[in-house]
Amino acid sequence: MFLNSSGVLSVVLFGCVVNMNKMNISPEIEDFLNKFWEQMGYLVNTIIFLVVGTIITFSALDNIDATDIVYLFILYVGVSASRSIMLMTFHFVLSRLGYGSTWQSASVLMWGALRGAVSLALALQVNHNDGFCEAMRSKILFFVSGIVFFTLLVNSTTFNKVLSILGFCHISKAKKIAVDSAADLIMDSMKRELSILKEDDDHTDSRWDEVKKVCYIDTIYNSDKDILENREEIGQLHDKVAACTNCSNQVPVPLTKTELSEFYDESRNRIFKAFKISLWKQFDLGLLSKPALRYLDDMCDQTLDLHDKFIELKDIEYTWKIGRVLNYLKVLVTLASGSQKARRLSHSQ
């Protein structure tokens, strides 16, 4: 109030500044901070929705008529259309800058733009501003709350369907193979451990059928039928052969361009995940400092977002290069120490 600025927008800007300087946050407490602020955000969201619902029920609805409900529908369509136009206008620029953008991701941004606590908090500020008449404050709060209601009712309930149509829910064969292999490895380890425990006299009364049910791994597949179908598909992928047109021998069929791209992307993702795990292990062993861990971890995330990109030596070698100023000072110190040695030799002679 003293600076005549919005407290809500100030908090949003503060979050952006903290995110830009997140390298200063210790890696040991990062997970705790994420969970803490996630819980705080949930509590604040709940409080804001309760306050807005109470105010609309007991005061704002007195100044609302049937015409405002029609205006609310028109406003919801207009807000969605304006956001779509803005995203599609800048899509051509964003697709050639930074991480790049596709029409699918732009569509997700448009449809997934849920209005929530920030807009409601701003509407509450307007509702408590004496510079507007009571009717105007009630209408602003009603329209903002109505748009939030429609985005939660329409956009959020159909968001999964939109993702599925745009292909974001597609699971590649490479990922299925990786998950299937990991699940088999874990299940084999579990069976070995259970066989050892069964021989222990202290566990003779255990209900091993229940133990197996608890230890069962729920993967990306919905049922045993899906698992069998996927394994048959993987087997066909490995065993796919065709007759040679010249000698009639059976030769392996090469992967299609789409399958090869999926395998390449999945292999690239696994390489970056293994690299990040290695970074954290080195940090635990004291071989890597906090700034170095944060820098390399962030570089992994940024490089992973880029298409067909790996971390190269030229991307990080500048971090250990000595600057021009230090090189100049080093030369001066070397010259000064050399002149002092020459003087001492001359005096000793």
Q: What is the pLDDT of residues 322-349, one digit of tens each?
A: 777 777 787 788 877 777 666 776 666 5
* Whole-number pLDDT of residue 293: 82
Please give the structure tokens belonging to residue 40. 């705080």
Cβ atoms of 280 and 259 closer than 8 Å: no
Q: pLDDT tens across 18-50, in order?
A: 777 766 677 667 778 888 888 888 888 888 878
Residue 271: how many other CB atoms lie within 10 Å = 14
State the pTM of this model. Answer: 0.57
Q: pLDDT-based confidence at 114, cuts 50/70/90?
A: low
Contact status, residue 181 vs residue 121, Cβ threshold 8 Å:
no
pLDDT at 168: 78
* Mean local confidence (pLDDT), 252-272: 73
Q: What is the radius of gyration, based on Cα positions, of the chain?
A: 31
Parallel/antiparallel/unpaired status of strands 250-252 and 241-243: antiparallel
What pLDDT sits at residue 106? 81
pLDDT score for 251 = 52
Predicted local distance difference test score (pLDDT) of residue 1: 56
Q: What's the chain's average pLDDT?
A: 76
Q: What distance lies between CA 349 and its chain's CA centroid?
A: 72
- 159-185: pLDDT as tens digits: 888 888 888 777 776 677 777 777 778
pLDDT at 226: 58
Q: What's residue 241's pLDDT?
A: 54
pLDDT bin (cut points 50, 70, 90) of residue 118 is: confident
Q: What pLDDT was estimated at residue 31?
A: 77
pLDDT, tens digit (0-9, with 9 covering 90-100), for 285-310: 888 887 888 888 888 888 887 777 88
pLDDT in tens, 203-259: 777 787 887 777 776 655 545 555 556 556 555 555 555 555 556 565 555 566 676
Cβ count within 10 A of residue 261? 14
